[in-house]
A and B are shown apart, each in its own frame.
Chain A
Amino acid sequence: MAVNQIALSLQGLHKSFGAKLAVDDLTLEVPAGSMFGLVGPNGAGKTTTLSMATGLLRPDAGRAVVLGADVWSDPAAAKALMGVLPDGLRLFDRLSGRELLRYVGLLRSVPAELVTARSGELLEALGLTEDADNLVVDYSAGMTKKIGLACALIHAPRLLLLDEPLEAVDPVSGETIRAILRSYVAGGGTVVLSSHVMELVESLCDTVAVVAQGRVLATGPLDEVRAGESLQRRFISLVGGRELDQEALAWLRSS
């Protein structure tokens, strides 16, 4: 089954907002069973790409295929295989954490008993049990991220698409999340996560893609992409780093 060895395939994705080109002919293949890091500077089109892969944003051109199911021509099949943690979108935050998990589980047609059992385990693992009956609107940024991750996991998807999963999460919970993601991949799942923290991607991912200005600059196994350097240095040289001029921002030092 050659098709199934590719968990997520993005083919020639294209999206522009008015005159601004956000994603420009982006093609990417994520092998099944990999921990895939999507890295790029701010405004590189990471979130736009993930939105088009999850059915939230209609691409101007191109296809997104999840384990053989096309997101835009067979959305039901594709979406059932994916667990999604979007970034910068609100949750139904007038529900408590427990209610939100139950809601997502039922929307995903998970049987009610299974939802109850799994949400208990997820809340416990992510350290949210104490706040499970508080409204999500009262959660801190890190707690909101964690309940969002729990929502993405509740139906045991084959592919996880996580936009900035560790942002604002404390080190202890961060380690828990890494452990969860590692065991998920070890069990045959595939993770695609976006980040601009190179150390995180380097320590967690086995495959990476560097994206800038809506295009893929490099993709492949981590060691191939970083080519003997640290990912940080390689990333800067790919994207084109900017040296800070000696004279620049001089006024900032005077205070």
Chain B
Amino acid sequence: MVAVLVRLKLALLRNTLTRSVWALVGLVLGGLYALGLVAAAYAGFVALRLSGSPELVSGVTVIGFSAVTLGWVLFSVLVSGIDETLSPARFALLPLSARRLQPGLFAAGLLGLPGLATTVVALGLVVVWSRSVGTAVAALVAVVLGVATCFLLSRLVTAALAELLSTRRFRDIAVVVLALSGAGIGIGVNVVADSFATGTSWTGLLGRVTDVVGWTPLGWAWALPAAVAEGAWLGAAARLLLAVGLVVLAWIGWGHFLQVRLTSPLEGQSGSGKVRGGAAVDRWFGATPRGAVAARSLRYWRRDPRHLANLAALVVLPVLVVVMQLTQDAPNELVVVFSPLLVAFLLGSVLAMELAYDGSALALHIHTGLRGSDDRLGRLMAAGTLVVPALVVISVACVAIAGRWDLLLAVLSMTLGAAVVIAGVSSWISVFWPGHAPPPGANPFGKGSSGGFEALLSFTVVTGISFVASLPVLAAGIGSLWIGWLQWVALLLAVGIGGVALWLGVRVGGRALDRRWPEVLRSVTALDA
């Protein structure tokens, strides 16, 4: 079964690569990036090995690899999504139990760039601890347990969250909890770092952080060789026990969710319930094609978990920045004041995915003969209805927290100006690289393996163009720190450049969409069979 699933994964990978050039480019770039990381890591390992100080070695490796483990969990939840090529739901019709699938899915799951890179880098731990046979063996055990922990924890967390998110009742709560726990981790790290920073030497700090991290579930496995090196046999035994226990528990937990998924695939579990009201939304946008697009889009911001998660992330980000600043002894009020700009720039990646989120449903816009400009404008109207008030509230709140009311106009001009520029540019660019996304109701943490690159490309281009275009606004806004009247210039520039960007997004983007409808449909349906 293991060999079958691994071969299936490789065959699927080969087929995507032969079907799409972008997938190949993405794989090559990802591979180069991973190679770079591995090379850098090994350079570090060799340096550590030569330095010889066990405190330094254990400190750096324990903290580093615990961060990698945390990264696996956070990245699979928040950023990259897990590779769903071997989604358990696809095996639902076969007479297979989770118990039989699990080893194969585990092996096939590690057989991707992140898995391979993590394993190779982790093996460096053996190099670093190669001074004695005992520590080297301990390091090898740590590598096996640690890599397994990385993978299993990320699968367990995403599976549990996906389960929560699949029922509408829990979805809203789960999104908020997820967002808040992200913020919580940031704050926690800051507080811990702060409390340690008071009056300890640098090496003492390293030792204490290592101690703490080495006793968290993230570091149990990785701290094993260090404990052996110190001769702390009791600690080593305890860590070995804990690490093995964690792997076993995560394995069982993951198996449980696999079994659930095999018997009740996530799709269609959206729960029922009548939809009421909404007449106000329809009246607000008017009974025109573009008004209809706007009203539909606004409903999707509310009913589609992917949109909802994006919205939560947009709001949490500035909160995170502000709180992190406030927990420090000397908060930088300028960082607080300008943090809403982050939201504006993240907006690009959200808006650029709109077409991809529609998937094959987009065909409706095409065969009804909807004009491209109506599609573009309608979506912008819906996003604006949500984002503009949110940005104003966030900006005013940040200005109030920092107590810099003199900067209110500058902050509003910069934030709203940049947001409008980005909205316009992404509305234009996304017509050319719409990317694709898994359908709503599928695992919200799953991502197509090749759509990622097209999406990344469009995000880079959108952010690049928007940043350059909004530079005058940003420059005038920052200049107003010294010359007050420049904030009026920032306002004028924001209105002017924002207007041009909107024209670009709606008119030019709309005309491009009119020409490219079939190609856009083909791109966004790439994931459909």
Residues of A within 8 A of B (CB): 54-58, 75-76, 78-80, 82, 84, 86, 88-96, 99, 102-104, 106-109, 111-112, 115, 133-135, 137-138, 151
Contacts of A135 in B (CB 8 A): 270, 272-273, 275, 303
Verify if B518 is at the interface (C-beta below 8 Å from A): yes
Verify if B50 is at the interface (C-beta below 8 Å from A): no
Contacts of B365 in A (CB 8 A): 107
Contacts of B272 in A (CB 8 A): 134-135, 138
Looking at chain A's contact residues, the main secondary structure is mixed
**Can you report 9 residue pairs joining A to B where beta carbons are below 8 Å apart?**
A54-B366, A55-B366, A58-B519, A79-B367, A84-B367, A90-B361, A111-B287, A137-B441, A138-B268
Residues of B within 8 A of A (CB): 268, 270-276, 278, 282, 287-289, 291-293, 295-296, 299-300, 303-304, 358-361, 363-371, 439-441, 514, 517-519, 521-522, 525, 528
Nearest-CB residue, chain B, relative to A133: B274
Residue from A84, A90, A103, A138 in contact with B296 in the complex, judged by beta carbons closer than 8 Å: A103
Bound: A86/B293 CA distance, A? 20
How many contacts between A and B, using CB within 8 angstroms? 110
Contacts of A137 in B (CB 8 A): 268, 270, 440-441
Q: When the two chains form their complex, are residues B369 and A133 in contact, meaning their CB atoms are under 8 A apart?
A: no
Nearest-CB residue, chain A, relative to B371: A76
Residue from B289, B299, B519, B521 in contact with A94 in the complex, judged by beta carbons closer than 8 Å: B299
Q: When the two chains form their complex, are residues B369 and A75 in contact, meaning their CB atoms are under 8 A apart?
A: yes
Shortest A136–chain B CB gap in Å is 10
Q: When the two chains form their complex, are residues B361 and A91 in contact, meaning their CB atoms are under 8 A apart?
A: yes
Looking at chain B's contact residues, the main secondary structure is helix
Bound: A216/B513 CA distance, A? 33
Q: When the two chains form their complex, are residues B292 and A86 in contact, meaning their CB atoms are under 8 A apart?
A: no
Shortest B471–chain A CB gap in Å is 38
Contacts of B514 in A (CB 8 A): 75
Contacts of B292 in A (CB 8 A): 102-103, 106-107
Nearest-CB residue, chain A, relative to B521: A56
Contacts of A93 in B (CB 8 A): 361, 440
Nearest-CB residue, chain B, relative to A155: B368
Q: When the two chains form their complex, are residues A106 and B287 in contact, meaning their CB atoms are under 8 A apart?
A: yes
Bound: A251/B349 CA distance, A? 55
Contacts of B268 in A (CB 8 A): 137-138
Shortest B272–chain A CB gap in Å is 5
Bound: A32/B372 CA distance, A? 30
Q: When the two chains form their complex, are residues A79 and B368 in contact, meaning their CB atoms are under 8 A apart?
A: yes
Q: When the two chains form their complex, are residues A104 and B270 in contact, meaning their CB atoms are under 8 A apart?
A: no
